[in-house]
A and B are shown apart, each in its own frame.
Chain A
Amino acid sequence: MDEILRVRDLRLATVDKVLVEGLSFTLSRGERFGLIGESGSGKSLTSLAITGLLPDAIRASGQITLAGEEVVGAPERRLVGLRGNAVATVFQEPLTALDPLMPLGRQIAQPVRRRLLRQGLPATRPDITREVHTLMDQVRLPDPDRLMRAYPHQVSGGQRQRVAIAMALACQPKLLIADEPTTALDVTTQAEIVTLLRSLVTDLGISLLFISHDLAVVGQVAERVMVMRDGHMIEAGPADTVLTRPRDSYTQSLVAAAARFDAALEGDA
C-alpha cells in the first residue's frame, strides 16, 4: 500500500527546550491512525509540523514526507500548495477556529472555491453554493439555508464542529488531521462527531490522523495507534492490541486508568 505520510526522526525544539524527539511513523492511504498522549506530550505540535505551521519559535528537524513532498524546511510557497490539497485539519475548539465575523456559508465556500479553481473546474457562484450544500449535507448539518447565513456564535458547538469538518473536506485533502475534535463537546455530541468522521473518511477513502488523549474515543476510530509521552514515542501497533494488551507500563497505566474511569461511570449509573 502506498504512503500518504512518512515522519522520520522528527525533532521539534525551541532554543532551550526539546519538545519532541525521535518520532517516526507512517500512514498509508485510507488508513485511520490514532495519536494518543496526555496533555503537553507534543501531539498538537506534531500535527502543526506536518502542515508546516509551527510557531516561529520552534524549529523542526528530521523528515516529514507528505504526499511525496518534503515539508521540513520547505518554502511557504510550496506549503500553501500542499495545505488543503494534501492535508487539512480540524481543531479542538470550533468556536475559535471559525472567523467570528464571517457567515458560516462563506467560511465553507472559500476553500470550495480554491479547490474548484485548483482542479480547473468552473467556480461560479451557483457552482460554489451547490458544493457548499452538498458538504453541509455530508456533515449532516440541518437547515443549510439558514445556517449558511448564521455566524459562529449563533449555532451549537456540535454544529460549529460540523462546519469546521465541512471546511476541511471542502479542500478534498488526501489526509485529514483531527486534533482532539471532540474534547470541547458534550458526550452525546462527541459520539456523533466521531461516527461522522469515521464514516466520512471511509466513504471518501482519505487517511485520518486522529489525535486524542481519550483512549475510548481513539479506540472507536483508529486502526493503528501510537502512544506518546513527553515528546517521545512509547508504543505503537494495531489499536486492539495496544488498547487491550499494552506492553509498555505507561500505556498499561493509561488503559487501567481509563478502565477505572469507565467502571466509576457505570457504578454511578
Chain B
Amino acid sequence: MDDGVNIAARVGSRKNITLWLGAVLVGVPLLAGLVSFVWTPYALSDMVGGRLETPGWAHWAGTDRLGRDILTQLMVGARVALVVGCGAVAIGAAIGVMCGILAAFATRFADDALAAFFDILIAFPTLLIAMLVVATRQEASLGTAILALGIGLAPIVGRITRILTKQVLGQDYIVAARVCGTSWPAIVLWHIVPNILPFLGVNLALQFGLAVMAEASLSYLGLGAPPPNASWGQMLQEAQGTVYSAPWGAVLPGLALFALVIGVNLLADGLRDRVSSQRGEA
C-alpha cells in the first residue's frame, strides 16, 4: 500500500510543481496580509514621502500621487483581498452548497425549478448582482462588499454542487450505504460531501479569484470598502491618471491581483490531483 502511494507521488512530481507554485503565489500575499496587522513600513494614509517617488530604498515600491507608501498599501490590500475572497466564498459556498444538495434531493419539479433559478441568476454577471446588493445598503463597507459578492457567487456554487451531487448519488457505494441502513443525512455527511469536495474545491478556488477581481472592480467603481481600507482595486483606480508618469502605481497592484488569482487556482488544482491520486486515479 505504501509503495503504491510512493510510486504515485513520484509520477505526480510534476503536479507537485503546480502545488508549490500555487502555495508560493498564495503564501506571499497571505504572509504580507498577516504581517500588515502588526507592522507596515509606514502608516497607511500618512504622506510620508514626495509625490510619485520611484521605487528606492526609502520606499521599496515607490509612493503614490499623495506621497503615500505603495508597499504599505499593497500589504493592507493583500489583507483586504484575502478577507474579501475568503468571506465571499464562505458565504457563497454556505448558501450554494446547501441549495445545490437540496435541489439534487428534491422532487423532479422542485429540482427543475431550482436549476432554472440558478441558471437565470448566473446569467446576471456576479458584479451586477453585487452592485444591486450594495445599492440596497446605506453606505459602502467591507462587510457589505463581502455579503454582496457572496450572494453573487451562491448560484454558481449551487449549480455545480447540484450536478456533482447527482453524479455521486448515482454511484454504487451510495446504494451500498443505503442498503445497510444509512440514513440520508449520514449519507450526505459521510459520502456525498467528501466525494464532491475535491471537485467543488477547485471550483471554489475559481470563485475566490472571481470574488477578488469583483471586489477590485467594485472598489474601482467606488462601491467597495471605503478608505482607509486600501484595496488593490482602489489603488488601480487612483493610479489611473498617472499610469504613464508613474506606472508602478498601477502595475504593482495589478500584478498582485493577477498572481493571487492564478496562485489560488494552481493550489486548488494541485490539491485535487493529490486527492485523485489517493483515490487511485493518478
Contacts and interface: CB of A to CB of B under 8 A. Distances in A.
A101 B280 CA distance: 10
A18 interface: no
Interface secondary structure of B, over-half rule? helix
B278 interface: yes
Nearest to A168: B180
A108 to B, nearest CB: 10
Interface string B167-183: 00001110111111111
B191 interface: yes
Interface in A23-55: 48, 51, 53
B177 A99 contact: yes
A168 to B, nearest CB: 6
A125 interface: no
A150 B4 CA distance: 11
Interface string A86-108: 01110101001111111000000
Interface residues of A, number: 36
Given A99-B195, A164-B176, A151 B280 contact: yes
Contacts of B176: 89, 91, 97-98, 164, 167
B163 interface: no
B190 interface: yes
A102 B279 CA distance: 9
A243 interface: no
Contacts of A100: 173, 195, 279-280
Classify chain B: how many residues form its interface, as a range: 20 to 34
A111 B173 contact: no
A229 to B, nearest CB: 25
A98 B180 contact: no
Contacts of A164: 176
A51 B179 contact: yes
Given A101-B195, A101-B279, A88 B179 contact: yes
Interface string B1-24: 100110000000000000000000
Contacts of A152: 280
Contacts of B183: 80
A238 interface: no
B275 interface: yes
Contacts of B194: 99, 101-102
B90 to A, nearest CB: 23
Contact of A83 (B5, B171, B178, B280): B178
B165 to A, nearest CB: 15
B180 A88 contact: yes
Given A102-B190, A151-B279, A96 B172 contact: yes
B182 A154 contact: no
Contacts of A88: 179-180
B179 A101 contact: no
A110 B278 CA distance: 21
A114 interface: yes
Nearest to A47: B179
Contacts of B177: 99, 110
A233 interface: no
Contact of A53 (B171, B179, B186, B195): B179
A146 B5 CA distance: 14
A212 interface: no
Contacts of B173: 96-100
23 contacts: A80-B181, A80-B183, A83-B181, A84-B181, A85-B181, A88-B179, A91-B175, A96-B171, A97-B172, A97-B176, A99-B177, A99-B195, A100-B173, A101-B194, A101-B275, A102-B194, A110-B182, A111-B180, A114-B182, A150-B1, A153-B280, A154-B1, A154-B5
Given A96-B171, A111-B182, 5 more contacts: A83-B180, A88-B179, A98-B176, A102-B190, A155-B1
